């Protein structure tokens, strides 16, 4: 006889006062059902059936321009990157089946950490299995009981979850508000450990943090500073090191968090630092220790990609041109954008509400354009927006085509005047 639970032993549907643990999701279920009842394609169930290049794919059966990926530098189809991955698969197999601190450190993990040290010109680099885990691990490990984390209220979910996993006091301040941040830091008891957590580019609106001022304020209060440069690595700054480099404060930043899932074009996360005791984190950081390391093919592709990004200044210049043209063109068409000026590779188009956002998203898809539909809790202030993220591989002609698609879809849905 099977040792599984028999039908008779299985829990029955809950009745009466018993609380269904899933009742907390009822609002989300209702919103989704209402949206789908209106007849739109589900914006959160898109399938890329075939990926043709960093900027084109067959999505839900249509040839589509991709304007909603994080593939800022277009590295996913770079021939050297692909070749490095294939060789690593052949030489090292498909996975490590172990933690970095046991059997999961291969030559490739050391190589990619060396590439990161050189990319950022920093002493230490530690690679995690995702950027999410890098924030989770670093923040929860360095800010513990009795310490204070002061962070921007619009921080990424992985930063908030890193705070939740640790036991530090968490003190948010209004988005990009230097005075509010200064005040919060000023109220922290004397002698407490302080960590300020900021992002270079905030990924929903595509706006940049005033790091020059914020890092100075943090240092005035004796706080350590962590900057998540997930959306700026490879693109912003002379060497592509991010907003801290572009604003001239990288030497005062204690920890930079980054990801391989955007400009690098694969998956993985990391932290780089000059802190003299940094290496101890390899033994005490639970999201580093208690999970399997990245597959050899992934670290090999990341390593090759990072080394190529060191020489990516032409691509960076073209991506800036794309960002400026798309931003200027959408603004001229009458769309409301997340920033007055282009500040990054992200151009956010603000929608009046979810219904219009979903209708516009679908109209663009029918035109042959994919963008991200973003809504709370990912977005700030309850906004619905269409997030456009440009790629260095979008041609100037493609950007013009995209503007034409936005114009037709915007008029059809009534977002801009006909």
Question: For binding to ligand PLP (CB under 6 A), which residues are involved?
Answer: 130-132, 135, 156, 158, 199, 203, 228, 230, 259, 261, 269
Q: Which is nearer to ligand PLP, 265 or 312 (CB)?
A: 265
**Minimum CB–partner distance for residue 156 and ligand PLP (Å):** 4
Under 8 Å between Cβ of 360 and 68: no
CA distances from 204 to 308, 311, 359, 379, 383 (A): 27, 28, 19, 6, 10
Which residue number is nearest to ligand PLP in terms of Cβ?
A: 131
What is the DSSP code (8-state) at residue 100?
Answer: T
Q: Which helix (H) or strand (E) holds 172?
A: strand 169-173
**H-type alpha helices, 121-156:** 131-142
Q: Which is nearer to ligand PLP, 73 or 188 (CB)?
A: 73
**Minimum CB–partner distance for residue 1 and ligand PLP (Å):** 44
**Minimum CB–partner distance for residue 230 and ligand PLP (Å):** 4
Question: Sign (positive/negative) of CA torsion 78, 52, 413, 383?
Answer: negative
**Minimum CB–partner distance for residue 113 and ligand PLP (Å):** 16
Round to whole Å and give the CA distance between 129 and 123. 20
**Minimum CB–partner distance for residue 261 and ligand PLP (Å):** 4
Round to whole Å and give the CA distance between 267 and 130. 6
**Minimum CB–partner distance for residue 106 and ligand PLP (Å):** 20
Exposure letters 24-42 (e unless 16+ CB within 10 A, then b): eeeeeeeeeeebeeeebee
Cα 43 from chain centroid (whole Å): 19
Q: Which is nearer to ligand PLP, 152 or 398 (CB)?
A: 152
Q: Which is nearer to ligand PLP, 51 or 333 (CB)?
A: 51
Q: Which is nearer to ligand PLP, 363 or 391 (CB)?
A: 391
Give one DSSP letter per residue of 309-327, joined into a string: HTT-HHHHHHHHHHHHHHH
- Report angle CA 46, 52, 58 to the nearest 5 degrees: 30
**Minimum CB–partner distance for residue 256 and ligand PLP (Å):** 11
Q: Which is nearer to ligand PLP, 199 or 367 (CB)?
A: 199
Q: Which is nearer to ligand PLP, 72 or 132 (CB)?
A: 132
The SS3 of residue 269 is strand
Q: Which is nearer to ligand PLP, 255 or 406 (CB)?
A: 255
């Amino acid at each position: 006889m099977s040792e599984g639970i028999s039908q008779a032993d299985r829990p029955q549907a809950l009745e009466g006062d018993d609380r269904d643990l899933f009742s907390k999701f009822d609002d989300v279920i209702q919103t989704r059902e209402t949206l789908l009842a209106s007849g739109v394609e589900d914006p959160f169930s898109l399938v890329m059936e075939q990926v043709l290049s960093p900027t084109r794919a067959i999505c839900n059966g249509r040839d589509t321009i991709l304007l909603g990926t994080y593939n800022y530098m277009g590295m996913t189809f770079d021939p050297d990157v692909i070749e490095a991955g294939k060789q690593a698969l052949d030489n090292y197999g498909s996975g490590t089946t172990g933690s970095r601190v046991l059997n999961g450190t291969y030559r490739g993990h050391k190589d990619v950490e060396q590439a990161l040290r050189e990319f950022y010109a920093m002493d230490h680099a530690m690679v995690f299995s995702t950027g999410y885990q890098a924030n989770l691990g670093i923040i929860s490990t360095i800010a513990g009981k009795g310490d204070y984390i002061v962070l921007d209220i619009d921080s990424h979910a992985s930063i908030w979850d890193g705070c939740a996993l640790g036991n530090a006091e968490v003190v948010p301040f209004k988005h990009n508000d230097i005075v509010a941040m200064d005040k919060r830091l000023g109220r922290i008891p004397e002698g407490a450990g302080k960590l300020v957590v900021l992002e270079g580019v905030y990924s929903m609106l595509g706006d940049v943090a005033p790091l020059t001022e914020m890092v100075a304020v943090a240092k005035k209060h004796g706080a350590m500073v962590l900057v998540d440069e997930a959306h700026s690595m490879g693109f912003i700054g002379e060497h592509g090191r991010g907003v801290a480099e572009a604003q001239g404060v990288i030497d005062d930043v204690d920890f930079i968090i980054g990801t391989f899932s955007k400009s690098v074009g694969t998956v993985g996360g990391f932290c780089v630092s000059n802190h003299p005791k940094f290496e101890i984190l390899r033994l005490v950081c639970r999201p580093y220790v208690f999970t399997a390391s990245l597959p050899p093919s992934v670290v090999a592709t990341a390593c090759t990609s990072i080394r190529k990004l060191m020489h990516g200044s032409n691509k960076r210049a073209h991506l800036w041109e794309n960002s400026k043209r798309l931003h200027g063109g959408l603004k001229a068409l009458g769309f409301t954008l997340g920033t007055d000026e282009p500040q990054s590779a992200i151009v956010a188009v603000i929608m009046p509400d979810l219904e219009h956002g979903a209708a516009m998203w679908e109209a663009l898809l029918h035109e042959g354009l994919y963008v991200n539909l973003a809504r709370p809790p990912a977005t700030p202030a309850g906004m619905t927006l269409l997030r456009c993220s440009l790629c260095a591989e979008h041609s100037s002609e493609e950007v013009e085509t995209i503007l034409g698609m936005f114009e037709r879809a915007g008029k059809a849905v009534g977002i801009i005047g006909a």
